C-alpha cells in the first residue's frame, strides 16, 4: 500500500509540473516475498512465483493502458527504457525491448529464466503455461502447468515427461547444469 501511495505522489508531482504526459514512468521491484506459501519465508530462497513474479508498470507518452499477460524479465527493463527514450548507439544487452507491446503490438512468446542463489542454487524456466523448477542443492525437480495451477501446488513431472525434457533443454541451452 505504501508503494502505491508513493507512486501516486510521484505521478501527481509530475502532473503538477505539467510534464506527466511526456514523462516515461517505470515502476517495478527486484523480488517478491514468501510468507509460508511453499514452506519458506522472505525472499531469495526459492523460484516460486510469490518470490520471483514482480510488478512491471510502464507509463509511456502516447501509450494506452493495457495489460500484457506474457511473462517478461527484468532483463527487458533496460532495453525497453533505452528504446522508449530513443537513445541510439546503446551497447548490446541481455533482454529485449517491450516498446512495441507497450504501444499495443504483439509480444512474441519466449522462455523466461529465473534463478535464486541465496541459499543454494535454484532455477526456473517458464515457457507458455509450463514452469520447470530445478533445485540443485536439494536435487529436486518440479513441473507446473501455471494455467491450471497458478499456485504451483501440483508437480506434473511424472505425467508430462516430454514437457520436462523440453524445458530441461531450455535450461541447458541457457548454461544451467548441475
pTM score of the predicted model: 0.81
Residue 25 neighbours by CB under 8 Å, 6+ apart = 10, 11, 14, 57, 58, 59
pLDDT in tens, 3-55: 778 888 998 999 999 999 999 999 887 665 566 565 666 566 677 777 777 78
* Residue 136 pLDDT: 84
Average pLDDT on 105-125 reads 84
Mean pLDDT across the chain, nearest whole number?
86
* Residue 159 pLDDT: 96
DSSP codes, 39-62:
S-EESSS--SHHHH---EEEE-TT
Q: Which residues of 13-47 are buried (b: 16+ CB within 10 A; e: fewer)?
A: ebeeeeebeeeeeeeeeebbebeebbebeebbbbb
Residue bearing the bigger pLDDT, 75 or 119: 75
* Residue 111 pLDDT: 93
Residue 145's closest CA among 134, 158, 132, 135? 132
* Residue 7 pLDDT: 84
pLDDT in tens, 116-127: 866 668 899 999
Amino acid at each position: 500500500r505504501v508503494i502505491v501511495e508513493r507512486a501516486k505522489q510521484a505521478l501527481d508531482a509530475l502532473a503538477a509540473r505539467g510534464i506527466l504526459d511526456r514523462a516515461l514512468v517505470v515502476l517495478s521491484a527486484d523480488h517478491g516475498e514468501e510468507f509460508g506459501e511453499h514452506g519458506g519465508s522472505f525472499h531469495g530462497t526459492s523460484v516460486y512465483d510469490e518470490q520471483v513474479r514482480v510488478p512491471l508498470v510502464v507509463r509511456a507518452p502516447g501509450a494506452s493502458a493495457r495489460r500484457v499477460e506474457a511473462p517478461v524479465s527484468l532483463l527487458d527493463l533496460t532495453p525497453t527504457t533505452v528504446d522508449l527514450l530513443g537513445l541510439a548507439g546503446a551497447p548490446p544487452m541481455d533482454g529485449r525491448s517491450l516498446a512495441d507491446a507497450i504501444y499495443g503490438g504483439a509480444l512474441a512468446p519466449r522462455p523466461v529464466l529465473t534463478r535464486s542463489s541465496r541459499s543454494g542454487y535454484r532455477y526456473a524456466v517458464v515457457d507458455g503455461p509450463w514452469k520447470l523448477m530445478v533445485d540443485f542443492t536439494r536435487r529436486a525437480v518440479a513441473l507446473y502447468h501455471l494455467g491450471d495451477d497458478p499456485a504451483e501446488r501440483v508437480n506434473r513431472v511424472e505425467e508430462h515427461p516430454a514437457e520436462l525434457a523440453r524445458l530441461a533443454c531450455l535450461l541447458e541451452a541457457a548454461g544451467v547444469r548441475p
